Amino acid sequence: MSCCGTKPAAAIGAPVAAAAAAAAGAPTTGIQMGDDAAVKASVQNYYGEVLATSDDLKTSACCTAVAPPPLVRQALAKVPDEVLEKYYGCGSPLPMGIEGLRVLDLGSGSGRDCYVAAALVGERGSVTGVDMTQAQLAVARKHAEVYCTQALGYSAANMRFVEGQIEDLAAAGIQDSSVDLVISNCVINLSPDKAAVLREVHRVLAEGGEMFFSDVYCDRRLPDQVRKHPVLLGECLGGALYVQDFIRLCRTAGFQDPRALSTSEIEVRDPELQSLLGEARFFSITYRLFKLAGVETTCEDYGQACRYQGTIPGHPHSYTLDDHHTFAAGKWYEVCGSTAAMVGDSWLGKHFEVIGDRSRHFGLFECGPAPAAAPTPSGGACAPGGACC
Ligand SMILES: C[S@@+](CC[C@H](N)C(=O)[O-])C[C@H]1O[C@@H](n2cnc3c(N)ncnc32)[C@H](O)[C@@H]1O
């Protein structure tokens, strides 16, 4: 995988921005905000025309800093080079233990994560990638059949790529409750209507399904001139949501307790970009959003406990649900109602035992104080160091 690094200032300035904006039909000073079509055209142009490979990225925002888990690395070894060269992700949005699941990748690009998911779900599972950029879809589609039948040895491809907008998955033919796992890697920040994306994700997920995804977030609301800048937008910085606004959007869409799994800060070292961005700090965060009726906005105590069975591939000794819950295999843990639902009633349920129900309520679940570290990504009331950890 290429580590993109930071390009010299000259590469980031007006010529590229002007080219991107002009080709998108936007004025060279920036994209007309409020015009969703102009934002999408600018993004499409960036990923279809401006970038040829991940080496052309101007910042390290669309680069994965953390090494993927061993099973993902094994799967990556079989993925065609052309697919890998056009990878622009910022995280590792693939949980383990997903055999047999129906996976949907939002903004699948050249398809890297879909190719890995196709291996992890096995022949009984299926993977659909949705993207709006023809050039990216063409690469993803080109190798799909041969990869599935020859590299993976399946009788037929279990992976397909659909042209569509992630704000309107119905138009792309994705039915209600038809997906077990939605993944996405460095894409939602590019959408001009993030609320619509989350609403659509909630619609297409089956009860007990999950959105597991990596994206770029900011520690504040960004000013217009940053959000309008075509290169900053294309590089996944301009459209980054203030993390607290993201949590509010999740709750409105029906995901009451967003759980952060991992957070890493994105360094912007280029002086020209730094001066545009000011004090703003950016983070790549992997979030987990469960579609479960039993998940609440606060951690409530029903006297429940769970035990991980050690059965998820790659996690024989312990399983990390989020940044404040790691369960050693074979050991019982007291958990709040939302955590009990996440491990007991979701697709993870076959790997956990849960005891207790909600017939008695004992008040708020005891949690310790949140750590001081920015950007306090977890939406839930359960905090690291608390009783549920
Ligand atoms: C940063 S790239 C990431 C691609 C891929 N997930 C990866 O990790 O390589 C963003 C991708 O999202 C797609 N995209 C951005 N906004 C979109 C939208 N509103 N609807 C559909 N696709 C979108 C772009 O076409 C591009 O391929």
How many angstroms separate the CA atoms of 243 and 34, rounded?
A: 21
Q: Residue 63: what pLDDT?
A: 66
Q: Residue 41: what pLDDT?
A: 84
Give the position, in ligand 1's atom list, of the atom nearest the Cα of 105: 6
Q: Residue 230: what pLDDT?
A: 85
Q: Could you tell me the distance, in angstroms and rounded to a whole number, from the CA of residue 306 to the centre of ligand 1?
A: 37
**pLDDT value at 247 more than 70:** yes
Most confident of 69-73, 75-79, 263-267: 75-79
**pLDDT value at 8 more than 80:** no
Q: What are 193's two structure tokens?
A: 């209507």
Which domains can be identified in the chain, with CATH numbers? Answer: 9-290 (3.40.50.150), 294-389 (3.40.5.100)
**pLDDT value at 369 more than 50:** no
Say yes or no: CB of residue 132 within 6 Å of ligand 1: yes
**pLDDT value at 25 more than 90:** no
Say yes or no: CB of residue 187 within 6 Å of ligand 1: yes
Q: Residue 389: what pLDDT?
A: 33
φ, ψ of residue 194 in degrees (nearest 5): -70, -30
Average pLDDT, the chain: 86
Segment 6-24 shows an average pLDDT of 33
Q: Which helix (DSSP H) or strand (DSSP E) does residue 321 occupy?
A: strand 318-322
CB 387 within 8 A of CB 334: yes
How does pLDDT run across 272-295, given as a tens digit for each residue? 888 899 999 999 999 999 999 999
Q: What are 344's two structure tokens?
A: 């007991």
Coil, strand or helix: which one is 351?
helix
**pLDDT value at 380 more than 60:** no
Segment 152-159 shows an average pLDDT of 98
Report the percent of the chain where pLDDT is more than 70. Answer: 83
Q: Residue 32: what pLDDT?
A: 60
Which residues lie below 8 Å from residue 38, measured CB to CB, with a gap of 6+?
Answer: 24, 25, 26, 31, 32
Which among 60, 114, 132 is the best mutation to test ligand 1's pocket, defined by most ligand atoms within 8 Å of the CB? Answer: 132
Q: Residue 30: what pLDDT?
A: 63
How does pLDDT run across 172-183, given as a tens digit for each residue? 999 999 999 999
Which among 43, 46, 110, 162 is the best mutation to test ligand 1's pocket, defined by most ligand atoms within 8 Å of the CB? Answer: 43
What is the secondary structure of 135-179 as a DSSP string? Answer: HHHHHHHHTHHHIIIIIS--SS--EEEEE--TT-TTTTT--TT-E
Give the position, in ligand 1's atom list, of the atom nearest the Cα of 48: 25
Q: Where residue 13 falls among pLDDT bands split at 50, 70, 90?
A: very low
Q: Could you tell me the distance, in angstroms and rounded to a whole number, from the CA of residue 30 to the centre of ligand 1?
A: 20
Give the residues across from 185 on adjacent strands: 214
How does pLDDT run across 130-149, given as a tens digit for each residue? 999 999 999 999 999 999 99
**pLDDT value at 26 more than 80:** no
Nearest CA to ligand 1 atom 10: 187
Give the position, in ligand 1's atom list, of the atom nearest the Cα of 136: 27
Which residues lie below 8 Å from residue 193, measured CB to CB, with a gap of 6+?
Answer: 36, 167
Give the residues across from 264 on adjacent strands: 284
Q: Where residue 356 falls among pLDDT bands split at 50, 70, 90?
A: very high
Give the position, in ligand 1's atom list, of the atom nearest the Cα of 44: 25
Q: Could you tell me the distance, in angstroms and rounded to a whole number, from the CA of residue 109 to the centre of ligand 1?
A: 5
**pLDDT value at 85 more than 70:** yes
Say yes or no: CB of residue 158 within 6 Å of ligand 1: no
CB 235 within 8 A of CB 62: yes
352-355 and 318-322 beta bridge pairing: unpaired
